[in-house]
Amino acid sequence: MKIKNNPSKTKPSDSSYKLNKISKNIRNRRSIYANQFVKGELPEPLLEEILINATWAPNHKMTEPWRFVVFRGKYLKKYGEYMAHYYKDFYSELSPEDQRDKLSYLENYPLNAACMIGVIMVRNTKIALPEWEEIAAVSSAVQNIALSCSAHKIGSYWSTKGVAIDYVAKFGLAENEKSLGLLYLGYYPEALKTLQKKENPTI
Ligand SMILES: Cc1cc2nc3c(=O)[nH]c(=O)nc-3n(C[C@H](O)[C@H](O)[C@H](O)COP(=O)(O)O)c2cc1C
């Protein structure tokens, strides 16, 4: 079955109006990458709202298997430096100039983010759920963050590269915890064309 990408048009008086707004928000959400961010402070109450929305995600047996760590301020710079160091050998075959460019790109990459959020899965030690259920719950929480961001015109994306996973882990994980990477949050220019949709979804 083919699905149309455009949310169906409903009048405000229509009882499904609210659903339509939700559909628009879901379908307009796009991953926005940190090199597209422009500097901007995330107000504290908004950050709090976003994180609280994360915790409203469905989760089996109410294990709430997540922990989030907010990185901002000097940690953006520290993460850039960490990435450059992490990838140092990866670029060792490039010319010194190209190598410098690549590493400088990495160093600067996170600097315009409003913040980054470390995503940690916390396995419940008393209720033995399959790991996939806990990952599914954390992913739902991450999607709540992404949708909250897009509703506020804040860009976000989830980075699950080894470097992101390792950076979060560096800050300490309990035995029942696992790093699932980093979410980048940041403002983006009004003119950014974010709505190119992927191929037509089919069921
Ligand atoms: C579990 C997960 C991991 C992801 N990891 C990365 C990543 O490491 N690097 C990256 O650039 N994008 C990552 N993404 C973002 C995807 O590339 C993006 O969602 C996909 O291209 C679809 O685009 P959209 O989010 O705009 O719909 C990840 C997304 C998910 C759901």
The pLDDT tens digits along the chain (203 residues) read 666 666 656 555 555 566 689 999 999 999 999 999 999 999 999 999 999 999 999 999 999 999 999 999 999 999 999 999 999 999 989 999 999 999 999 999 999 999 999 999 999 999 999 999 999 999 999 999 999 999 999 999 999 999 999 999 999 999 999 999 999 999 999 888 655 554 444 43
Nearest CA-CA partner of 183 in 73, 32, 80, 36: 32
Domain chopping of the chain, boundaries: 35-72+113-186
State if residue 157 touches ligand 1 by the CB under 6 angstroms criterion: yes
Ligand 1 pocket test: pick from 26, 30, 31 the residue with the most ligand atoms within 8 Å of its Cβ. Answer: 31
State if residue 158 touches ligand 1 by the CB under 6 angstroms criterion: yes
For residues 141 and 134, give the distance between their C-alpha atoms in angstroms, rounded to a whole number: 11
Nearest CA to ligand 1 atom 9: 159
Residue type, 40: G
35-72+113-186 maps to which CATH number?
3.40.109.10
